[in-house]
């Protein structure tokens, strides 16, 4: 896999550090669907999702629709999605809100080597190829990577519920 640079490669702010990313990727992702939200421009997105925010729609590719079976039993879900507009080459960054430079892994900025977002949402309704949820804050059309029951909601406050390493 040859790496391509996604997102804007905009300005460098004071204190930021840019790196040359590796020439190739190490693993690949499938987009399993897309997220429909009311926000079509970055400036419109709320700073973070809210439990009483608007209902958003996780549209799941029909290929993966059978994987939704059983989801009705999970009141809260963990959603992983791909922040496809974010640059990936800053290891130090300076958020506009406070102007303080710090390491990328010490903040939850979308700008990071692997721009995977993780949000906890409330399940509102389930359709054959879609899931309606509250609590997101992303752009309309954001690629969806995964849906899991929230681990804190049942018996696994730390770690994965089913073991990391293999089938259980």
Region 67-86 residues binding a second copy, contact defined as CB under 8 A = 67-71, 73-74, 78, 80-86
Provide the minimum distance between the beta carbon of 11 and a second copy in the complex, in angstroms, as a whole number: 9
**Strand duo 76-82 + 102-103: pairing:** unpaired
Is the separation of the CB atoms in 145 and 36 below 8 Å? no
Residues shown for the chain: 168
Q: Does 9 bind a second copy (CB under 8 A)?
A: no
Q: Contact between 111 and a second copy (CB under 8 A)? A: yes
Size of the site for a second copy (CB under 8 A): 99
CB 15 within 8 A of CB 92: yes
List binders of a second copy among 42-71 (CB under 8 A): 42, 45-51, 63-71
Helix (H, G, I), strand (E, B) or coil at 19: coil
120 binds a second copy (CB under 8 A): yes
> In terms of CB distance, is 59 or 109 closer to a second copy?
109
Task: Pick the binder of a second copy from 36, 119, 129, 132 (CB under 8 A).
Answer: 119
C-alpha–C-alpha distance, residues 154 and 5, integer Å: 39
Candidates 38, 54, 99, 107: give the one binding a second copy (CB under 8 A): 107
CB half-sphere exposure, 100, CA atoms < 13 A: 4
């Amino acid at each position: 896999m040859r790496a391509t640079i996604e997102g804007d490669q905009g300005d460098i702010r004071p204190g930021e550090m840019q790196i040359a990313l590796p020439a190739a990727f190490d693993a690949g992702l499938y987009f399993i669907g897309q997220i429909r939200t009311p926000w079509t421009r970055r400036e419109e997105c709320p700073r973070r999702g809210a439990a009483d925010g608007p209902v958003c729609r996780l549209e799941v590719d029909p290929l993966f629709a059978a994987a939704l079976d059983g989801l009705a039993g999970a009141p809260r879900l963990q959603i992983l999605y791909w922040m496809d507009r974010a640059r990936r080459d800053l290891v130090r960054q300076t958020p506009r809100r406070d102007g303080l430079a710090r390491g990328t892994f010490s903040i939850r900025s979308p700008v990071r080597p692997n721009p995977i977002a993780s949000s906890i949402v409330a399940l509102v309704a389930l359709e054959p190829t879609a899931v309606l949820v509250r609590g997101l804050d992303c752009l309309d059309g954001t690629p969806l990577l995964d849906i899991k029951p929230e681990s804190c909601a049942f018996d696994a406050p730390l770690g994965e519920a089913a073991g990391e390493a293999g089938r259980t």
